[in-house]
Amino acid sequence: MELGHLRSFVCVAEELHFGRAARRLGMSQPPLSRQIQLLEARLGAVLLDRSRHGVALTAAGRAFLPEARAVLAASERAVQTARRAMEHRGGGAVKLGFFSASTYAFLPRLVARARTELPGTEILLREMSGAAQLEALRVGRLDIGLVRPSQDMLTLSSRLVSTEELVLALPLDHPLGPRRRLSLRDLQDQDFIGYSEEGPYMRGLVARALSGAGVTPRVVQSVAQAQTILSLVSAGVGVALLPSDARNIGFPNVAIRPLAMPPGLTVELYAVWKAETGNPALEALHGLMQRL
């Protein structure tokens, strides 16, 4: 079955007139009639009722018309995708999952570069937790996600895309503020805002940092998001350990100080995806991530 025959049928079905359809297709009427006849012979069904009163769709023609349109639309999408890939301009769409902490630095940088370097690629952003992203990837609702590392992502393909240091956030008038050099030991017995069980990766990372230094601060609040932690620091509730990119949130009355940390104790962000998606736009986005 040839696409040209399908185009001829759809045009005649829309015009219900062989002469108008022929003019629209830029051809004469006899070849157009022949193409319809060949299509009907291939299908073994009469698609058009031709009479001296005009042209009408048969029951088979009415049933076949939406399917023919769908085949032509799919063919056009395939052509456009191939052309964009040949131009190395991306093309198509990528459903990208993210969580709040990825918006502090990495995600804005990625989106900005994609708008410049992959103008043909549409990035559809979906905000959700890391666990929800992994589930959405497995069932095909996402093409790629940005998550903290976990055991649950081991069945998917992944790449480390960003690392950050832990830094100390404290109120501007805090006694530790004037100190030029700070260490984890300075947090002993300080009022401390930690991560709750809803933020398991950061909760575990902060716990390892404190226990490794033999430090036991007074945990006065535990919340899930860095933004909430910074709001409490701004209110003078206590101090906190946060990823360094969180400084971009910009709460008032908050000072950010570096800390001496053991080697390898960094905050990691991963891109995760399901292998062999066949999405050329996703491949283009992968290439961009490697250049960031």
How many Å apart are CA 240 and CA 203, to the nearest integer?
A: 11
How many Å apart are CA 185 and CA 195, to the nearest integer?
A: 19
Report which of 194, 242, 197, 200 is spatially closest to residue 221, judged by C-alpha positions: 194
How many Å apart are CA 219 and CA 41, to the nearest integer?
A: 80
pLDDT digits (tens, 9 = 90+) for 3-37: 899 999 999 999 999 999 999 888 899 999 999 99
The structure tokens listed for 253 are 């009355």
How many Å apart are CA 229 and CA 167, to the nearest integer?
A: 13
The Cβ-side half-sphere exposure at 271, using a 13 Å CA radius, reads 20
The structure tokens listed for 201 are 């990766």
Report which of 171, 174, 173 is spatially closest to residue 251, judged by C-alpha positions: 171
Output the pLDDT for position 83.
Answer: 63
- Answer for the pair 247, 267: CB distance below 8 angstroms, yes or no: no
Output the pLDDT for position 240.
Answer: 98
Report which of 242, 216, 209 is spatially closest to residue 227, judged by C-alpha positions: 242
Report which of 31, 40, 29, 30 is spatially closest to residue 6, judged by C-alpha positions: 40
Q: pLDDT at residue 121 above 50?
A: yes
Taking the model in full, what pTM does it have? 0.68
**Which residues does 172 contact at the CB level (< 8 Å), separation at least 6?**
253, 254, 255
Output the pLDDT for position 88.
Answer: 45
Q: pLDDT at residue 55 above 80?
A: yes
264 versus 210: which is more confidently predicted? 210
18-22, 123-127, 142-146, 183-187: range with lowest mean pLDDT: 18-22
152-161, 191-200, 256-265: range with lowest mean pLDDT: 256-265
Average pLDDT over residues 271-289: 87
Q: pLDDT at residue 84 above 60?
A: no
181: pLDDT confidence band, cut at 50, 70 and 90?
confident
